[in-house]
Structure 1
Amino acid sequence: MKASGFPYVAPMLLLSVAFFATPLAVLVGFSFTGVGGITLNNYARFFSDPFNFRVLINTARLGLETVVGTTLLGVPIALLYWHCGNTFRQVLIFLTLIPMLTSNVVRTFAWIVILGRQGPISETLLALGLTGTPTSLMFTELGLVMAMCQIDLPLIILPLIAILARTPVQLTEAATVSGAGPWRVLITVLLPLMLPGLFAGWILVFASTSSSFVTQAVIGGARNVYVPQLIYREVGTLFDWPLASAIAVVLLLSTGCLLVALSMMSRHRRLVGHA
């Protein structure tokens, strides 16, 4: 870095140290505190309880299920954006950004109405004759995954749109002229081009889902416990800050390892050319 450019970067570095590095260091320090001083007892307590390990697995599974759901929804929407005209593209971008302008709390409580016994899902199932009584998806993992997919869907659509916006149409036209059908064009041309955007979206969606305390607590309920709720219980109910800090560090490390793996895959030399 040139010396002349440091004054412009210094404010950002100071803010990063003050509001990210320092709190993170305090969190890690708390996780090693105990009655006798520095100890690994907090981590031993967490991993010695099979319930905590199941909660960690459930949190990772929730993130992966949401990633799959948002991918199945986001890829067709991104392809629709690529094929439509400029006017409809602007409308699609507007509809994608609208949920992000609404508070996550508001969107979560809206899903209470949607998933409830008198909500549109229950009424539709009754109208189709699939159920004989009103059905509620509240406090179920399926309902939680549905809510998380809607909340995090823009996080995967926007990277895909950014990739497709600079993809020349001539590539698919050349494949079509060569005899490739629509599905072969999708699998051999478009999906490889979209992979960097998919990796970026997967990272954002998984990180958001695994740490979304409000949605997990409200939609998932007490029967579906995930790591953020476990941390809240240790802090707000049991007042065990060292153990809560250890759980938070475990969540950061486990989530971070997966995100680093996805990031390294997205930087593979076969994908860099498409980015």
Structure 2
Amino acid sequence: MKILPIVVLNGLFFIAPLFLLVGMSFSGDGGATLQHYIRFFADPINIEVLRDTIYLGLKVIVFTTVVGYPVALLFMLLGPKGRRILLFCTVLPMLTSNVVRTLAWIAILGREGVVNNALLNLGFTSTPIQFMYNELGLIIALSQIELPLLVLPLVSVLAKIDRSLWEASTSLGMNAWRTFFRIILPLSIPGLIAGWVLVFASACMNFVTQAVIGGARLIYLPQFIYQEVNTLYDWPFAAAIAIVMLTSIGIVLGALTAVGRNRRINVYA
């Protein structure tokens, strides 16, 4: 009975709308039809948009891992006070609206933004670099926005690792790199995969950042759905695109989850 409110809320605000979305995607003038799905997969441009959306999520995973893993390692090495400060700094951006964080990246990545001004003043470039409205700028912004989703599960796993393992490996003659690859990295894989799942799903469906930083030049599935709903008013086709997006992202998440459930990995959990 304790979980009844959660079941009711999920049923009303997730499962029921999802069924309505599926039903709308099959609706046509003559009844149920597959024409919207056939229309989507028959157009190579739509397939390219789907592919770019998946690739975007994977690229953001790589960037957040490169930045977030050292942060999580630092958490492991710090004392209690340092951990509290680092955890606060990690969670703090999540207390700010995604819209505000995205708009802040305009001031950072713009032609007269912080990054370009620093590069010009240091003499690294003679002209401003174009970061806005391209994939590089979008990946940078998304990586910072999604970073806490990787760091928090990774930190929760690394915090459980006994520091005596690090000390024991050092006493046995293993250097820091070998200790990392033989002990720390394998033990952290469950948290890493959990972070990848959250980052990938959020990055692929982050409409605001994709629209503002990517602009009209870069089209991903969330923007595609928005155009069909608000510009062309083709709700059934938009519903079909949404189902394709959810299914495609679900397949990737399922693959990541399957890796996380691997027995050899779960030994370290």
TM-score by length of 1: 0.96
Instruction: Show the counterpart of 1:24.
Output: 18
Q: SS in structure 1 opposite 2:126?
A: coil
Structure 1 counterpart of 2:260, which letter?
S
1:249 Cα deviation after fit: 0.3
| Separation in structure 2 between the aligned mates of residue 185 and residue 44 of structure 1, nearest angstrom | 52
1:48-127 correspondence to structure 2 within 5 Å: 48-127=42-121
Aligned length: 269
Correspondence 1:205 to 2:202 = no
TM-score by length of 2: 0.98
After TM superposition, the structure 1 stretch with the greater mean CA deviation from structure 2, 155-164 or 119-128, is 119-128
| Separation in structure 1 between the aligned mates of residue 10 and residue 136 of structure 2, nearest angstrom | 38
Structure 2 counterpart of 1:162, which letter?
S
**Which of 145, 150, 154 does residue 160 from structure 1 map onto?**
154
Structure 2 counterpart of 1:200, which letter?
A
| Separation in structure 2 between the aligned mates of residue 12 and residue 222 of structure 1, nearest angstrom | 39
1:98-152 Cα offsets, whole Å, 9 max, x none, are 0000000000000000010111110122123222122331101000000000000
1:16 Cα deviation after fit: 1.2
1:158 Cα deviation after fit: 0.4
Structure 2 counterpart of 1:169, which letter?
R
1:10-64 Cα offsets, whole Å, 9 max, x none, are 2221111111110000000000011111000000111111111110111111101
**Which of 221, 226, 244 does residue 250 from structure 1 map onto?**
244
Structure 2 counterpart of 1:196, which letter?
P
Correspondence 1:131 to 2:125 = yes
1:204 Cα deviation after fit: 0.1
Instruction: Show the counterpart of 2:181.
Output: 187
Correspondence 1:40 to 2:29 = no
Structure 2 counterpart of 1:23, which letter?
P
1:133-148 correspondence to structure 2 within 5 Å: 133-148=127-142
1:162 Cα deviation after fit: 0.2
| Separation in structure 1 between the aligned mates of residue 131 and residue 2 of structure 2, nearest angstrom | 51
RMSD: 0.8
Q: What fraction of aligned residue pairs are identical, expressed as a percent?
A: 53
| Separation in structure 2 between the aligned mates of residue 54 and residue 46 of structure 1, nearest angstrom | 11
1:211-239 Cα offsets, whole Å, 9 max, x none, are 00000000000000000000000000000
| Separation in structure 2 between the aligned mates of residue 120 and residue 149 of structure 1, nearest angstrom | 18
Structure 1 counterpart of 2:143, which letter?
C
Instruction: Show the counterpart of 1:264.
Output: 258
| Separation in structure 2 between the aligned mates of residue 103 and residue 31 of structure 1, nearest angstrom | 31
| Separation in structure 1 between the aligned mates of residue 181 and residue 63 of structure 2, nearest angstrom | 19
| Separation in structure 1 between the aligned mates of residue 2 and residue 219 of structure 2, nearest angstrom | 45
- Unaligned residue ranges in structure 1 (runs of 5+): 1-6
Q: SS in structure 2 opposite 1:166?
A: coil
Report runs of 4+ in structure 1 exceeding 3 Å deviation: none
